[in-house]
Amino acid sequence: MKIVIAGAGDIGFHLAELLSFEKQDIVLIDTNQEVLDYAATHLDVMTLRGDASSIDILRQADVNRARLVLAVTTSEKTNLVTAILAKKMGARQTIARVSNHEYLEDSQRETFRELGVDSLISPVLLAGEEIRRLIRECSFTDHFAFEDGKINLIGVTLDEYSPLVNQQLFNIDDEQDTDLNLRPIAILRGHRTIIPRGQTILRRGDHVYFITKKKNMEKLNNLIGKQKYKVKNVMILGGTPLGLATAKQLENEYNITVIESDKERCKVLAEQLNNSLIINGDASNIDLLVEEGLNNMDAFVALSSNSETNIIASLTAKNHGVYKTIAQVENKEYIHISQNIGVDTLINKKLIAANNIFRFIRKGKVEAITSLHGVDAEVIEYLIHKSNKTTRKPLKDLHFPDTALIGGVIRGEEALIPDGEFQLQLNDKVIVFALPEAIDKLEQLFH
């Protein structure tokens, strides 16, 4: 598959890195020769220096043969022009990164589709939506809802008081409420990803990902030894674009306090937010945070432009009794350490955007895709769009890869947690957890 990526920044490089492992034919375009040189020495991609919105550059990239064009530079105008030109020149599918949230309204999306931009994505808006989910279900470190919440993917850290610690999964299954239908699909232990089996023993400090139905979220809280906690007061550190987008999404549900060090930026925040308290102050001034109510906060979301500031401020908030902490980091390597340092969740808006884009690349009918924080794996929702061997045999006879498992199935309005005897049907939506080595086999199964 030929894929042209405009922009070799964090999103473009991450996408190129993921795709180069899969032997895709990738052309990476950027105006900065230094970042292209870095990509060329680390990835199996062709690099091309120039403006991606130039017809000549797109011709050199053979965009007429491209299955997909990803315009993800930091310039919104460049991305839109690149996608429009690429489509007119013969590219099959185009995706553009934007920052103007008005463009994401249905009417505007349709206008851009008519111009040749098939899909628009906003890293800031996607990250804001993820933060909102995490605050709504604050006992969990991760929460991803499939099909409007019919099936939920939940991440939890097992502390020393959890009744699951030192339990074998076989025993947990035996003791479960028969209607709970709870399935662990992955365990992050340190930096190691474990696919859980019946004989797997859970340990203190394990970060466990469960698949469960929406109605069982409260039961899951009880099973892991945590009580339902309702968030009322949220402090957001940083009036960055992500800080603003997050406050907009949260301010009608929670009491929001935003801390921002730049006075002019505070004025912008005050103009655009209706129900949030804006405080001009330094993030490193702990006395100021305490004075502005840190001890009374239920959630603390650190979204400044400095990753280290966000981590340290979140740890400080945790020490002051804040129940839920979320920190935004620019370095994706930090994602692997969140559960080990005491911050509930670290997020990276560029990785979230890349995961959102990645579903357009997967073979088979992919409805949704996500990655788990710190886990080198994907969770993919496939649609069974034609009758083949997946619909003719029970799951236990499908020769499913050892490094993948089916976590749940959505059949119409019904959410199902399948066992080995379960048989898939046409139009089922199948949620699969997979390590990288299983992807090729899965794509053959669900193609």
3-state secondary structure 190-235: CCEEECCCCCCECCCCCEEEEEEEHHHHHHHHHHHCCCCCCCCEEE
pLDDT at 405 over 50: yes
Amino acid at 297: M
Which of the pair, 367 or 290, is modelled with greater confidence? 290
Beta bridge mates, 212? 152
Q: How far apart are CA 132 and CA 235, in angstroms?
A: 13
Percentage of residues in the chain having pLDDT higher than 90: 41
Give backbone dihedrals phi and psi of 122, rounded to 5 degrees, phi first. -120, 110
Which of the pair, 19 or 233, is modelled with greater confidence? 233
Give backbone dihedrals phi and psi of 81, rounded to 5 degrees, phi first. -65, -40
Residue 96, C-beta contacts closer than 8 angstroms, at least 6 positions apart: 71, 72, 76, 79, 80, 82, 83, 112, 117, 119, 120, 121
Please, are residues 347 and 131 in contact by the beta-carbon 8 Å criterion? yes
**What pLDDT is recorded for position 417?**
84
Residue 333, C-beta contacts closer than 8 angstroms, at least 6 positions apart: none
Of 146, 123, 210, 186, whose CA–CA distance to 366 is shortest? 146
**What pLDDT is recorded for position 361?**
67
Residue 178 — pLDDT band, cuts 50, 70, 90? very low
- Of 76-80, 101-105, 397-401, 407-411, which one has max mean pLDDT? 76-80
pLDDT at 177 over 60: no
pLDDT at 139 over 90: no
pLDDT at 255 over 60: yes
Which of the pair, 383 or 293, is modelled with greater confidence? 293
| Over residues 7-16, mean pLDDT | 88
Q: How far apart are CA 324 and CA 297, in angstroms?
A: 9
Helical packing angle, 106-115 and 76-88, nearest 10°: 50
Of 141, 182, 175, 138, whose CA–CA distance to 158 is shortest? 141
pLDDT at 295 over 70: yes
Out of 64-68, 121-125, 417-421, pick the least confident.
417-421
Q: DSSP class of residue 418?
A: -
| Over residues 130-147, mean pLDDT | 81
**What pLDDT is recorded for position 331?**
73
**What pLDDT is recorded for position 339?**
55
**What pLDDT is recorded for position 370?**
67
Please, are residues 181 and 216 in contact by the beta-carbon 8 Å criterion? yes
- Of 7-11, 148-152, 342-346, which one has max mean pLDDT? 7-11
pLDDT at 400 over 60: yes
Q: 3-state DSSP call for residue 381?
A: strand
Task: List strand residue ranges (DSSP E) for 373-440, in order.
Answer: 378-383, 404-411, 414-416, 429-434
pLDDT at 364 over 60: no
pLDDT at 7 over 60: yes
Domains along the sequence of the chain with CATH: 2-121 (3.40.50.720), 140-224 (3.30.70.1450), 231-352 (3.40.50.720), 377-446 (3.30.70.1450)
Helical packing angle, 33-42 and 10-20, nearest 10°: 20
| Over residues 63-73, mean pLDDT | 94
Is the dihedral angle over the CA atoms 309, 312, 315, 316 positive or is it negative?
A: negative
Q: How far apart are CA 131 and CA 143, in angstroms?
A: 9
Which of the pair, 417 or 280, is modelled with greater confidence? 280
Q: How far apart are CA 212 and CA 155, in angstroms?
A: 11
Which of the pair, 98 or 141, is modelled with greater confidence? 98
Average of per-residue pLDDT values in the chain: 86
Residue 97 — pLDDT band, cuts 50, 70, 90? very high
**What pLDDT is recorded for position 195?**
84
- Spell out a b/e string for 139-156, using b for 16 or more CB atoms within 10 Å of the CB, else e: bbbbbbbbbeebbbbbbb
Q: How far apart are CA 34 and CA 40, in angstroms?
A: 10
Amino acid at 253: E
Residue with tokens 């009491």, as numbered in its chain: 255
pLDDT at 279 over 80: yes
| Over residues 370-386, mean pLDDT | 76
pTM of structure: 0.76
| CA distance to 78, 82, 112, 264, 429, per residue, from 51 (Å) | 8, 9, 21, 33, 40
Of 37, 118, 105, whose CA–CA distance to 360 is shortest? 118
Q: How far apart are CA 141 and CA 341, in angstroms?
A: 13
